[in-house]
């Protein structure tokens, strides 16, 4: 029996001023203090320092929502891994579908960002997942395989215990249309098999793979019962303290 500690991460996307961020964190901090899983909130860059200060001494870890592939220099608008660590981030979401769809993120840039995060000691939450067209065209497995091979090309097996993978079917993100627990389990089991092929049984069995896509207080426990689902990446439901704490305390 392999024990993987579940990890529930909120993705605030582009929401909350510093003041709102602090209020939200202070609201859910007491509600999640006895969580049996790892708890992370991935917040806008401008909130990281505030949220990290508010979470100090608690069981809540802070993450960013993107990181540069470079260490420093002429990369206007980008933020480096060292800068993120400097303000208190431990995790970083990489390759979210919104970045792939709207900001030109590709498997190659996801790979470069992931390598840089790992090199700097930030823990990447690498997002993959198929669109509705791809699912209906029965190419989900092909799509996630390509995304995994692209994202992890050249990434050493030794670094994989710092990695979290988020399986987020694009059709389920922000739509209120959750994948069924069976669909999520089936694809995540497949994803784990791809990692087995790339890194071997032990690495793949230790890798934490989250589900993401309209996960909320009412469907979290069913999803979390599935053997290969090791957590969730939570968008909308992470913006309300009560909802988020219910997911965390699945």
Contact 248, 39 (CB under 8 A): yes
**Strand partners for 199:** none
Q: Which stretch binds ligand PEP (CB under 6 A): 69-77, 200-208, 221-229, 235-243?
A: 235-243
Q: Which stretch binds ligand PEP (CB under 6 A): 32-40, 116-124, 149-157, 232-240?
A: 232-240
235 lines the binding site for ligand PEP (CB under 6 A) = yes
| CB nearer ligand PEP, residue 32 or residue 184 | 184
Q: Which helix (H) or strand (E) holds 167?
A: strand 164-167
Nearest residue (beta carbon) to ligand PEP: 235
Residue 186 a catalytic site member: no
Q: What is residue 127's three-state secondary structure?
A: strand
CB of 181 to ligand PEP, least distance (A): 15
Q: Which stretch binds ligand PEP (CB under 6 A): 68-76, 78-86, 113-121, 168-176?
A: 168-176
173 lines the binding site for ligand PEP (CB under 6 A) = yes
Of 241, 233, 108, 248, the residue nearest 170 (C-alpha): 233
By residue count, the chain amounts to: 250
Name, in order, each residue with C-beta under 8 angstroms of 239's C-beta and a sequence gap of 6 or more: 10, 12, 15, 16, 24
User: For binding to ligand PEP (CB under 6 A), which residues are involved?
Assistant: 11, 13, 168, 173-174, 212-215, 233-237
Residues serving a catalytic function are 96, 168
């Amino acid at each position: 029996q392999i024990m993987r500690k579940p990890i529930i991460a909120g993705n605030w996307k582009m929401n909350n001023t510093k003041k709102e961020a602090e209020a939200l964190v202070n609201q859910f901090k007491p509600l999640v203090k006895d969580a049996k899983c790892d708890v992370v909130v991935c917040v806008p860059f401008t909130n990281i320092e505030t949220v990290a200060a508010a979470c100090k001494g608690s069981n809540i870890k802070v993450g960013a929502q993107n990181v540069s592939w470079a260490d420093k220099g002429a990369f206007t608008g980008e933020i480096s891994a060292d800068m993120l660590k400097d303000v208190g981030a431990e995790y970083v979401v990489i390759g979210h579908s919104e970045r792939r769809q709207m900001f030109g993120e590709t498997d190659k840039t996801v790979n470069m960002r992931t390598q840089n995060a790992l090199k700097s000691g930030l823990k990447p939450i690498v997002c993959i997942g198929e669109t509705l067209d791809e699912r209906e065209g029965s190419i989900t497995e092909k799509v996630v395989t390509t995304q995994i091979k692209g994202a992890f090309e050249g990434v050493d097996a030794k670094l994989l215990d710092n990695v979290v993978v988020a399986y987020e079917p694009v059709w389920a993100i922000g739509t209120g249309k959750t994948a069924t627990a069976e669909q999520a389990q089936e694809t995540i089991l497949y994803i784990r098999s791809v990692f087995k092929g790339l890194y071997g049984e032990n690495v793949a069995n230790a890798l934490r793979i989250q589900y993401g896509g309209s996960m909320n207080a009412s469907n979290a426990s069913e999803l979390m019962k599935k053997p290969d689902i090791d957590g969730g990446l939570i968008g909308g439901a992470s913006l309300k303290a009560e909802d988020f704490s219910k997911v965390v305390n699945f």
